[in-house]
Amino acid sequence: MKSLLKINGFLPFLAIMFINASVDLGHKITIQNVLVKSADSGALIALTSLVNLLILLPYVFLFSASGYLNDKFSRTRITRICAKLGVALTALITLGYACGWFYFAFFMTILLAAQSAIYSPAKYGLIKKIVGGEKLGAANGIVQAFTIVAILLGSFVFSAIFEMYAAQSMDAGEMIKSVWFIGAILFVCSVAETIFTFKIPFFEATD
């Protein structure tokens, strides 16, 4: 593992993977927690299913476009563009939280998922370019471990923040407004992620 961490660009890459998993999860958990606290049992099932559908659909409909883009253009450039797009999306999410626009924030889930649908293949495609073929297996193991830790830690942290600060209200807009700073955390994390994308080496598109 120590030899992998010494490879130029691998540590920033791990930071990108960790932050990105946390950001995607943080927004989803916040939306779902608001639904659990504010929706009645019948609407809760439907809306929770809709959230999961909004996350899944972009991966289904964009898989061809994502594959084309990641084969045609530099994956480093795609990673940087998608990270910058994440900054814009989390800024809009923060605005939605701060203004109490629950359904606007709810809709942003599909845009964040669409960004991830193109972003994920680019990120995973960079692993071999950064570490080489011989260390690919070990690098994949470390990346998966970091991603799992990010998911577990993010689930705990964002749920704890929500439980501590969310307004005791049945109104979804008022509740999401009370935890507007979760959006600010997601925005700051996205900015940090974008900075790390410029710490990894630039790889030209393959022929």
| Inter-residue contact 147 to 15 (CB < 8 Å) | no
With bands split at pLDDT 50, 70 and 90, how would you rate the model's confidence at 1? low
Q: What is the DSSP string of 161-172?
A: HHHHHS-S-S-H
The C-alpha atoms of residue 47 and residue 106 are separated, in whole angstroms, by: 10
Cα-based distances in Å from 140 to 60, 66, 78, 128: 24, 21, 20, 9
Confidence class for position 207, pLDDT limits 50, 70, 90: low
Given a cut of 90, whether residue 69 has pLDDT beyond it is: no
Average pLDDT rounded to a whole number, residues 130-140:
86
Closest residue by Cα to residue 160 from 175, 177, 179, 176:
179
- Contact indicator for 132, 6 with CB cutoff of 8 Å: no
Sign of CA dihedral 164, 189, 21, 97: positive
pLDDT digits (tens, 9 = 90+) for 94-130: 999 999 999 899 889 889 999 998 998 888 889 988 9
Please give the average per-residue pLDDT across 173-193, as a whole number: 94
Q: Which residues contact 10 (CB under 8 A, 6 or more apart)?
A: 4, 130, 131, 139
Question: How are the residues of the chain apportioned to helix, strand and coil, as percentages rounded to the nearest 5?
Answer: 85, 0, 15
pLDDT in the model for residue 66: 81
pLDDT of 2 reads: 66
What gap in Å lies between CA 32 and CA 35, rounded to an integer? 5
Mean pLDDT of 44-72: 79
Question: Which pLDDT value is given to residue 177?
Answer: 93
For residue 119, give the nearest of 156, 150, 83, 155 by alpha carbon: 83
